[in-house]
Structure 1
Amino acid sequence: MPEDFHDFFSDDAWDDGSEAGRPGSGDGASRPPKPPRSRRDMRRRRKHRRHKRLVVVIASIVIVALCVGVGVLAVGKIKQWRHDTLADTAVVDDYPGPGEGDVSFTVESGQGVAEIAEGLRRADVIKSVDAFTSVVASNSYTLYPGTYELKRHMKASAAAKILSDEGNAKGFVEVRQGERLDDVLKTAAESSGIALEEFEDYVGDASKTGAILPACAKGKLEGWLEPGVYNIGDDPTPQSILQQMVQARIEKLNALGVPEGDQRERILIIASIVEAEVNSQEYYGKVSRVIENRLKDDMPLGMDSTVAYGFKISGTELTNEQLNDGSNPFNTRVNKGLPPTPISNPGDDAIEAAMHPEDGDWLYFVTTDLKTGETKFTSSYDQFEQYVQEYKANNENAN
């Protein structure tokens, strides 16, 4: 009853929601609103007002939601329009191909994609820089230095595909990290058009190679070719090509702070073995320490990579007879000490590891998992034998 009583005399209860009788309502009078005829009428009016407020709130929410939805849809349409416009532009700015005539185009070492694309556009090979760079980016192409045979008015995708195939490059030769001299010579012969025999004759003549090598190399080029890409030039010879690689190697060794003289040759030998024995940089420093510990203890190095190099084969091709053949000067299973020369052209990381081996007493290591490259180190022969069994088990499972 008290609640009804207060409700009856509340301000809202006397408001019928109309403008009549209010000051300024237009009837010139200022009369109080008519009271409800009953409490039931009062409750009905209050319920009606709540309903109206609820309708207004719901309508507002609906309007806001519609505005947001329309905005999102508009943004999506704008993005699609821009995408379609750019796509149409790319089509317009690309030649249909396949092209005509012949164009000799050179990609210089160190050039970026945009710079290469601009050169192609100027040579009228492609129509648009954007079309070419888009194709390279979307396909994650790597563009290689070299001279390529192209055509005028080529489709950008066709030109990019040619420039991303290293086999199409002419006029340049690449030395890869860890690559043997024999493989470098084959690549140089193919790229230059010079017979492989001419390279082999040059390399086999210490009086010629000695003119471009430091004295500590004793005329042997293995290990002294710096990884990188080299311009063959207009009138190449075996000496002009190989001299670039040797000079670059000397400059790199100086930059790395490698001691000169016989110590420099020693570092290259160890680095080449380190890189050949394991396929992960994380183990380089430990392998380098194993080599130093074995040399210190007057133990044979026992590295299959050196034996294989002496027979000009891969480590997986070695036979037991070859592993026991002491006439091979690179057989470090039988002959103590370092091999006569490096067994490849090592990269910077391996050279750093050869100069700064990790601290440890390890004498043995085994790559126990050929798939992951996981390699384990130990100073115990018994533990080493366990690692060998682990390697065999993993290898059998892999097969």
Structure 2
Amino acid sequence: MSDDIHDFFNDDDSWGNAQQDDAGAPPAPPRSRRDMRMKRKSNQRHRMVKLIIAIAVVIALIVGGIYAYRAVKQWRHNTLADSSVVEDYPGPGSGSVAFTVTAGEGVTQIAEHLVREGVIKSVDAFTGVVSANDMTLYPGTYELKHQMKASQAAQILSDQGNAKGFVEVRQGERLQAVLERASEASGIELKDFEAVTTNAEEASKILPAEANGNFEGWLEPGVYNVSADPSATQILTDMVKARISKLDELGVPQGADRERTLIIASIVEAEVNSPEYYGMVSRVIQNRLNDDMSLGMDSTVAYGFGINGTELTNDQLNDGSNPYNTRVNKGLPPTPISNPGDDAVEAAMHPSDGNWLYFVTTNLKTGETKFTDNYDQFEQYVQEYKQNNDGAN
């Protein structure tokens, strides 16, 4: 049958003529099955090429859309900070403005305040700069100018070193460091603060009886406005009152138990840098006290010498004349060794359940700390610490 059809197309010349004469006639059919197969493969290749091109176009559109989104987002950030798009002064400004950022104020509130004071021209220019650069604005009183460029004002307010009139008591910080910053922020001489803290009569007017005349541990962490306070006495009084109020709020027992809690909390916070371990360290302290063991805490020894733990020498570690040397002297040190925060206070009151007697921060970078009740295991942790922190300060 195939041969007959082939002969038919070869013999009948009218078929080819019809193609030439009639423009509307269908194209000539393939001359063989082989030609038909080749034509089908050609059509398949054409369809595959079209499909690949279509996929490539879709991918290009998606990638282009992503880049366009990022470009628009960056453009929005840039334009908010650009004085040519958002109303802004060219700077650098003139005159002098004492501008105060109070604790708890948001970026928009600060910007609105800056506009009212004539420091910047628009809220958007300032908030755009702060957002685009992920800035943190600190409480305090700053020296600014009238008609400043928004970015210049933001840079000043985001540098805590420029702040005046406010002082922060940081959790885990020693009394002396607080006094030095309070002096700098308030303009009151350091010796005036030290005179209050070392004068038994003055101290008794501010501190509760259980503090035994010592301010260490009795300053509540937080930010204080010292520009309005007239004296070192008033500033310290505010900090102690805030501490007592917080301890009452946390349900810390009054009297000797309150001082004991602060002592333990201050050691807990000095020994580890992560709240996840606070309760466990508190339990180690309690277990050692219950077993009539020395606490063996380097943090207390260092406090007694007024240095950091990394500065301790072997002679100092063995010096029993230091009342804060809990390696040699059993029991708690005579006072707290810092001003602990809420988490440490809670841990001191509610230690974790466990029989641990030893702990080692085996990795100073990550803060990983391991606990055990076995001395041999403790020695292994010490070796692990040395391996992980070889050459660490």
Partner of 2:141: 147
- Name the larger-Rg structure: 1
**1:96 maps to 2:90:** yes
Preserved CA contact (<8 Å) 1:135 1:160: yes
Partner of 2:13: none
Residue 78 of structure 1: CA displacement?
10
Q: Encode CA deviations 1:270-325: one digit per residue, 9 max, x unaligned.
A: 00000001111111111100100010011111111001101110011111111111
The one-letter code of the counterpart of 2:207 is: L
Residue number among 290, 295, 307 corresponding to 1:296 in the alignment: 290
Residue 73 of structure 1: CA displacement?
8.4
Residue number among 280, 284, 290 corresponding to 1:286 in the alignment: 280
Preserved CA contact (<8 Å) 2:114 2:120: yes
**1:362 maps to 2:366:** no
Q: Encode CA deviations 1:11-31: one digit per residue, 9 max, x unaligned.
A: xxxxxxxxxxxxxxxxxxxxx
Structure 2: which 5+ runs fail to align?
Answer: 2-25, 37-43
Alignment of 1:310-321 (within 5 A): 310-321=304-315
Residue 383 of structure 1: CA displacement?
1.7
The one-letter code of the counterpart of 2:143 is: E
Q: Encode CA deviations 1:150-181: one digit per residue, 9 max, x unaligned.
A: 01111111111111111111111110110000
Residue number among 147, 169, 172 corresponding to 2:166 in the alignment: 172
Preserved CA contact (<8 Å) 1:206 1:218: no
Determine the C-alpha separation between the residues in 1 that align with 2:226 and 2:233: 11
The one-letter code of the counterpart of 2:196 is: Y
Alignment of 1:29-178 (within 5 A): 90-92=82-84, 93-178=87-172
Moved over 6 A (4+): 40-44, 65-83
**1:371 maps to 2:359:** no
The one-letter code of the counterpart of 2:153 is: A
Determine the C-alpha separation between the residues in 2 that align with 1:394 and 1:350: 27
Q: Encode CA deviations 1:59-110: one digit per residue, 9 max, x unaligned.
A: xx999x9999999989998997897688557423121111111011000111
Residue number among 200, 220, 228 corresponding to 2:214 in the alignment: 220
Preserved CA contact (<8 Å) 1:173 1:188: yes
TM-score by length of 1: 0.80
The one-letter code of the counterpart of 2:276 is: E
Preserved CA contact (<8 Å) 1:203 1:209: yes
Determine the C-alpha separation between the residues in 1 that align with 2:389 and 2:236: 40
Q: In structure 2, the residue corresponding to 1:362 is in which secondary structure?
A: coil
Preserved CA contact (<8 Å) 2:77 2:128: no
Does the C-alpha gap of structure 1 residues 254 and 86 become closer, same or farther in structure 2, counting only changes over 3 Å? Answer: closer
User: Is 72-81 or 312-321 further displaced after alignment?
Assistant: 72-81
TM-score by length of 2: 0.81
Q: Encode CA deviations 1:113-169: one digit per residue, 9 max, x unaligned.
A: 110011011111111111111111122211111100001111111111111111111
Q: In structure 2, the residue corresponding to 1:396 is in which secondary structure?
A: coil
Determine the C-alpha separation between the residues in 1 that align with 2:285 and 2:62: 69
State the identity as a percent: 66
Does the C-alpha gap of structure 1 residues 125 and 389 become closer, same or farther in structure 2, counting only changes over 3 Å? Answer: same
Determine the C-alpha separation between the residues in 1 that align with 2:237 and 2:91: 41
Residue 236 of structure 1: CA displacement?
2.2
Preserved CA contact (<8 Å) 1:225 1:248: yes
Output the aligned Cα RMSD: 3.8
Residue number among 215, 228, 231 corresponding to 2:225 in the alignment: 231
Determine the C-alpha separation between the residues in 1 that align with 2:69 and 2:269: 54
Partner of 1:258: 252
Determine the C-alpha separation between the residues in 2 that align with 1:307 and 1:81: 58
Q: In structure 2, the residue corresponding to 1:327 is in which secondary structure?
A: coil
Alignment of 1:233-252 (within 5 A): 233-252=227-246
Does the C-alpha gap of structure 1 residues 236 and 382 become closer, same or farther in structure 2, counting only changes over 3 Å? Answer: same
Q: In structure 1, the residue corresponding to 2:333 is in which secondary structure?
A: coil
Does the C-alpha gap of structure 1 residues 130 and 246 become closer, same or farther in structure 2, counting only changes over 3 Å? Answer: same
Residue 391 of structure 1: CA displacement?
2.0
Q: In structure 1, the residue corresponding to 2:343 is in which secondary structure?
A: helix
Does the C-alpha gap of structure 1 residues 262 and 83 become closer, same or farther in structure 2, counting only changes over 3 Å? Answer: closer
